[in-house]
Structure 1
């Protein structure tokens, strides 16, 4: 006879265990899906390199704002000095006019006809009358000079006020660019801090090896030199190989990219603009890398944010980025697109 007993239900304890196990499995799966993987040395290096390159490009914008601020400050100083000198000249003119007015008053506030009647010597009166006429002409001339000087001072004061407004705006831009540079570098350091001390040491050693290898003399190929002055500037830059990159620095013992090129040209007795963006338009443009000559400037990045010297054989001599040194490097391997060359 078939049994009609109901199937045995699982115990409450067993069900609870199964439910808890399932929940734990789901939680573990969810956590593994959202947890950040441990950063590898390679991935950190790639991100740090990118941040440092961005910091180097931001440095060029900082340099541009600093150059503008320095120029504005000189303009303001010159205008304020001119206003101070002009105010002194105006005061002298006013004092002179006052002295003439006093002398005229003392010489006679009497009607000319009465002066003639009272004068014992008509010739003396005529002489005095002539002097009074001359004083009046001097007064008129002084008044015109005073009016002209006042207008000039007002224009100079207005110009100085406008320059001061521009200066305040530029200094704010300068501060913003500085914060951006420092922010990029701080972010890079934060990433580096996620690595172990051993991994950081390995990365430093790799960078030092790269700098030493890149610092060696490159094969220049068959390219000629751009010009005598470009050759002189390039020779000066070669003496800085191994010097550290420092943002905003223009030598002689540390450099950013445009700091190196502008410093080198100064050693050749030539002044070129301070920033890579301005240097990109400082001479004859060379559109093809095949037409470059040693000593030409090499402009990289779509924002024209990097510059170096062409060293021949597809190489450049440059100050690459924070954490690196002045060195030779393949343009193609720099990771920055070639825009054009500039022949000074």
Structure 2
């Protein structure tokens, strides 16, 4: 999965530069002035940046988790096959036991049977032919045993390979999860450094910004021009309005961006891949001028953020940590592409 980071608006870059400059000045030892406290706007921009930077590794985590689930199914299947092969080998050993006993009663255990029962049957058939001391019945039974033993060894090798791959994805998922949680923890630390009054003011500023941008997370029913499967998907998405964004989540109480899109289309009988990148790669691309309600919108790039077009120049999406599923103007973020499931 790519590690593209969302482009930052010029104003944010200027703020970051000013913030760094201010930080550099504050490091100079002076007796006459304390280090300047970051402004509320500085904190808000830093928190927003951290939330945005957590989105790309969130999608990476989703891809790894999907791979991990697939490997887990393969490991479970390999274990089942291994158990069946072991049972088959055990049953053949039980059948061969009476043959060896009969041979013993008739004048001692055949050396080749003794060799086999010692647990190393690979060279048995060649030796048996050379010695010419084994009945065809014993040869058939031991040939079957040798085949099953080889199959068992192969199954064990395959299971070990799959298990190793599973362990590697678990380690990779843990590392990516730590990256996301680290950024979110840093954002929470910044927010916790604010007074209650400052937090209230920040929330009020956010609500004002959302209102001016035309964003809404109030519960609503879809009444646009979509029909068929697209309408079913949008009906579901609208029913999630106001539910919180949560990284890595596919519902039903919270969603990340691709989790919402996938869940909505799943209700319409369409199975989409898990991540933004996979949805982009799999979808039929449509131009911005040909958008239809239900189309998947990709903002910024092909790996980071998506939502669904609802018509009338608007889209529904799960935005980022700290916000709820909402309806926003299509151009409230840089439009990258669109695809149709």
Class of the TM-score when normalised by the shorter of the 2 chains: 0.7 to 0.9
2:100 counterpart residue number: 101
Shift of the alpha carbon at 1:32? Answer: 9.7
Matched, 1:316 2:315: yes
Shift of the alpha carbon at 1:31? Answer: 3.9
**Greater Cα radius of gyration, structure 1 or 2:** 1
1:47-196 alignment to 2 at 5 Å? 47-103=46-102, 106=105, 108-109=106-107, 136-196=135-195
Structure 1 residues 89 and 329: CA distance shift in structure 2, 3 A: same
Structure 1 residues 166 and 219: CA distance shift in structure 2, 3 A: closer
Q: Does the 8 Å CA contact 2:59/2:303 hold for their aligned counterparts?
A: no
1:341 counterpart residue number: 338
- DSSP 3-state at the match of 1:332: helix
Shift of the alpha carbon at 1:208? Answer: 5.1
Structure 1 residues 33 and 267: CA distance shift in structure 2, 3 A: farther
Shift of the alpha carbon at 1:77? Answer: 1.4
1:11 counterpart residue number: none
Q: Does the 8 Å CA contact 1:250/1:256 hold for their aligned counterparts?
A: yes
Matched, 1:241 2:241: yes
Q: Does the 8 Å CA contact 1:315/1:330 hold for their aligned counterparts?
A: yes
- DSSP 3-state at the match of 2:292: coil
Matched, 1:274 2:271: no
Deviations 1:15-50 (A, max 9, x none): xxxxxxxxxxxx9x9749997543222222222112
- DSSP 3-state at the match of 2:247: coil
> Which residue, out of 213, 216, 236, partners 1:214?
216
Structure 2: how far apart are the matches of 1:296 and 1:32?
60
Structure 1 residues 343 and 35: CA distance shift in structure 2, 3 A: farther
- DSSP 3-state at the match of 2:328: strand
Q: Does the 8 Å CA contact 1:310/1:317 hold for their aligned counterparts?
A: yes
Provide TM-score, normalisation by structure 1: 0.74
Structure 2: how far apart are the matches of 1:190 and 1:242?
25
Structure 1 residues 313 and 59: CA distance shift in structure 2, 3 A: same
Give runs of ≥4 in structure 1 deviating > 6 Å: 32-35, 217-221
2:18 counterpart residue number: none
What is the RMSD of the two structures over their aligned residues, measured on CA atoms?
3.1
Q: Does the 8 Å CA contact 2:221/2:239 hold for their aligned counterparts?
A: no
Provide TM-score, normalisation by structure 2: 0.75
Shift of the alpha carbon at 1:205? Answer: 3.5
Shift of the alpha carbon at 1:317? Answer: 0.6
Structure 1 residues 342 and 95: CA distance shift in structure 2, 3 A: same
- DSSP 3-state at the match of 1:153: helix
Shift of the alpha carbon at 1:220? Answer: 9.0
2:21 counterpart residue number: none
Structure 1: how far apart are the matches of 2:297 and 2:140?
61
Structure 2: how far apart are the matches of 1:291 and 1:202?
41
Shift of the alpha carbon at 1:231? Answer: 2.7
Q: Does the 8 Å CA contact 1:52/1:185 hold for their aligned counterparts?
A: yes
Q: Does the 8 Å CA contact 1:220/1:311 hold for their aligned counterparts?
A: no
Structure 2: how far apart are the matches of 1:100 and 1:33?
100
Structure 1 residues 231 and 36: CA distance shift in structure 2, 3 A: farther
Structure 2: how far apart are the matches of 1:62 and 1:32?
48
